[in-house]
Amino acid sequence: MMITVVGTGYVGTTTTVALAMLGHTVCGVDVDPVKVRALQSGSLPIFEEGLEDALRRETAAGRLRFTCDLGQALPGCDVIMLAVGTPPDEDGSANLRALEEVSRQLGRLLQPKAHGRPPVIAIKSTVPVGTGERVRGWLLQEMILRGLHIPFEMASNPEFLREGRALHDAMHPDRVVVGADTPGAANVMKQMYLPLQAPLLLTSIRDAEMIKYASNAFLATKISFMNELARLCERVGANIQQVAQGMGFDARINPHFLQAGIGYGGSCFPKDVQALQALAAQSGLTLQILQAVEAVNASQPGWFLQKVKHVLGSLNGQHITVLGLTFKPGTDDIRESPAIPILKHLEEQGAQITAFDPQGMAAMKQRFPNVTYASTLQESLRDADAVLLLTEWKEVVEHDWGASWSELRQPIVFDGRNVLDSAQMRAWGYQYYGVARPS
């Protein structure tokens, strides 16, 4: 099949590569010429394990190309996937400006196909229920202005990949959800994904749009539930990890997403939880559970910092080492990372901050230019009064903590992700504080 993917960010680039790996001929389109030039030359503008090699392989095999020129990418296309960003607006609702822009451009640029079925326009971006109809409307408006009606069909194809495992998830999805209002569009999407041999759920466009928000909101709920429970565990002397393990054996609960920590971040959970609430508000409803999920998450970094202050006293002049800046390991993405409010607070309190992250330092430097960024983890520990572990990078978890003990001025570690071996850390002489992990 011939496929165009509009928007080559985290999702769009992964989608282009994955579809090319399935044997399709794929063209990625983006308005950002720097990004497109990088992709054309086989280099990935983001960090995502394994994606760059696959990008080069698929480009060399002639299945993948990139352009800024949407018009040039459209002729003969069977599917046009829209993967542009949908960031939050001021009221939390999804900002659909990029999607409208692309839809109107498509309405202006689409040409009748010489042969074969009309193209399917599939929305991969995370969008509120009803967006499929709006996209169709924007395209039709532009076609009316041209005095033409060029046939096309609509589909919704939400993405569930996790940054840090993006290509793996795109190639081995738990499920593919396709919302389509015509059997023809459903069939084209089904054919496109056939080589994946993944479970496929066919729904209406509205259902598919809702499934994506519902999934992310539910995962965020699990995290906030465990974080709130951790606060209680800490008060009553229970270990949240044991509690999570005991809960996770129950097949109705399952062990995933039960880790307490410093809260969720990233480009998806925070904005999707907000967008679902905004959608509810527009429909005259209040989603009380999600209000609480958001409130717990917003206060979790502060709760963690309270513990730091309780142990260290005033942070003014203290040398604090922050390990991990990205919202999760395996990515360079710092969007909504819990490290951001934590760094902000540490700066406000007059702490001397040194940070280390394998991939996130360049982006964080733009936001926090006064932080010292160490070139190695070992270097970041030197003379620290305390270490705050914020992202569970392998490099951090597997670091030789036993050998580093003497580097620190005070061997105090606050493990915001509960990933270090608490007994071993204490045996090495550290004052170790996890999240609801009593000694």
| Shortest separation between residue 30's beta carbon and ligand NAD, angstroms | 4
Q: Is 161 annotated as a binding residue?
A: yes
Q: Are strands 2-6 and 319-323 parallel, antiparallel or unpaired?
A: unpaired
Rounded Cα distance between 112 and 118, Å, is 8
268 has catalytic annotation: yes
User: DSSP 3-state assignment of 320?
Assistant: strand
Tokens found for residue 332: 């360079």
Tokens found for residue 290: 């999600």
Rounded Cα distance between 132 and 269, Å, is 21
> In the complex with ligand NAD, which residue's Cβ is closer, 135 or 161?
161
Contact between 108 and 142 (Cβ < 8 Å): yes
> In the complex with ligand NAD, which residue's Cβ is closer, 6 or 54?
6
Q: Is 257 annotated as a binding residue?
A: yes
Tokens found for residue 414: 């606050």
Rounded Cα distance between 133 and 410, Å, is 59
Q: Is 328 annotated as a binding residue?
A: yes
Contact between 136 and 154 (Cβ < 8 Å): yes
> In the complex with ligand NAD, which residue's Cβ is closer, 129 or 244?
129
Q: Is 162 annotated as a binding residue?
A: yes
Chain residue whose CB lies nearest ligand NAD = 9
Rounded Cα distance between 377 and 373, Å, is 10
Rounded Cα distance between 143 and 163, Å, is 37
Q: Is the dihedral of CA 235, 238, 240, 246 positive or negative?
A: negative
| Shortest separation between residue 125's beta carbon and ligand NAD, angstroms | 3
> In the complex with ligand NAD, which residue's Cβ is closer, 102 or 353?
102
| Shortest separation between residue 221's beta carbon and ligand NAD, angstroms | 17
Active-site residue identified among 27, 77, 233, 268: 268
Give the binding site for ligand NAD (CB under 6 A): 6-12, 29-32, 35, 83-86, 98, 101-102, 125-126, 159, 161, 163, 267-268
Q: Is 335 annotated as a binding residue?
A: yes
| Shortest separation between residue 18's beta carbon and ligand NAD, angstroms | 13
Task: List residues forming the annotated binding site for NAD(+).
Answer: 30, 35, 86, 126, 163, 271, 335
Q: Which residues are annotated as a binding site?
A: 30, 35, 86, 126, 160-163, 212, 257-261, 265, 271, 328, 335
Any idea which residues carry the catalytic annotation?
268
Pick out the residues of the known binding site for substrate: 160-163, 212, 257-261, 265, 328
